[in-house]
Amino acid sequence: MNDICIATVQFEHKSRDKDYNLSRIESLTAQAAGKGAKVVCFHELCVTGYTFLNKLKRDETQKVAERVPDGESVQSLIRIASKYDVAVLAGLVEEENGQFYNTFVAVTSDGVLAKHQKLHPFISTHLAAGKAYTVFELFGIPCGVLTCYDNNVIENVRATTLLGAEILFAPHVTGCTPSPMPGRGFVDPALWMNRKQDPEPLRTEFDGRKAREWIYRWLPARAYDNGIYMIYANPIGMDDDQLKPGGSMILDPFGDTLAECRSLDDEVVTAVCTSDKIQNSGGYRYRNARRPELYKDIIGVNHHSKTKPIWLQE
């Protein structure tokens, strides 16, 4: 793997407002390029917004969706990537063969290098589930994408790694939502509105179990267990009627945090990913020590889950 400088971003998107969101994507891409980044990662559905989709009917969802690569938003992303000589990774609602997908694209001046259709879409019943892992080369480096909940299913991360990914892009819209885990839940939007005058209560909420403390229970483990870099991107601010905590970060193959967004505003952070850490990591050794004959018939068994996210529960 060649050494490469990567940026991850947090920003407050506006629901349905693609022009505004693309303008922020361009401005933040310019900042990232100015910091020396060759790759800029944004969050899940950053072009369209996320939570508002749970209120849309099918025909309304269609109005939000676009084709890949021919849609206006993807063409705008390619223009931005070309202008700043970087790769841009960003999410939108895709229409393909009469179905809608939560799709994350990687683009350069050459066009779309890869697209990942989220394997575990939840926010809308009109979104179809992707059916494949996504591994591709970016500037000669094997990379993968798993979107939000895709990363919570540990088999997905291992499979993407076994397919060759050394850097895993993990776009999210997460945190500050209810869960059976003690301490989880919504954060009062009033704290966001008052953050300039009194930032401490909001920072306390974002750093606790509702956000950062929860992320640190599992995300670094995905990087460590598999010996890969993970590029986590998450929005900050209001996402429709929910507050999101940002906290975009870059994790190395030891599970250490190389860079993290810590402001209560839009922010770009960068880190250099190097090849030496991968082969020196425990996760790299663990992969080489695997004995698939012991568990291939266990992991591959069909199962049916009754669990649903809270917004799809009756």
Of residues 310 and 283, which shows the higher confidence score? 283
312, pLDDT greater than 80: no
pLDDT (average), residues 171-196: 96
pLDDT at position 1 is: 84
- Model confidence over 104-115: pLDDT tens digits? 999 999 999 999
User: How does residue 310 score in pLDDT terms, banded at 50, 70 and 90?
Assistant: low
User: Which of 43, 54, 309, 306 lies closest to 184 in space, CA to CA?
Assistant: 309
Instruction: Work out the angle between the directed axes of helices 18-34 and 72-84 (0-180°, nearest 10).
Output: 20
Set out the domains of the chain in order of their start, with CATH numbers. 4-302 (3.60.110.10)
Percent of the chain clearing pLDDT 70 (strictly above): 97
pLDDT (average), residues 190-196: 98
pLDDT at position 244 is: 98
105-114, 155-164, 293-302: which range is least confident on average? 293-302
Percent of the chain clearing pLDDT 90 (strictly above): 93
149, pLDDT greater than 80: yes
Strands across the sheet containing 111-117:
111-117, 99-108, 87-96, 39-41, 4-10, 267-273
Show Cβ contacts of residue 177 under 8 Å, excluding neighbours closer than 6 positions.
184, 185, 186, 242, 310
pLDDT at position 302 is: 84
87, pLDDT greater than 80: yes
pLDDT at position 71 is: 97
How high does pLDDT run on average in the chain? 96
Reading the block at residue 174, the tokens are: 């997460």
CA dist 29 and 90 (Å) reads 11
pLDDT at position 66 is: 98
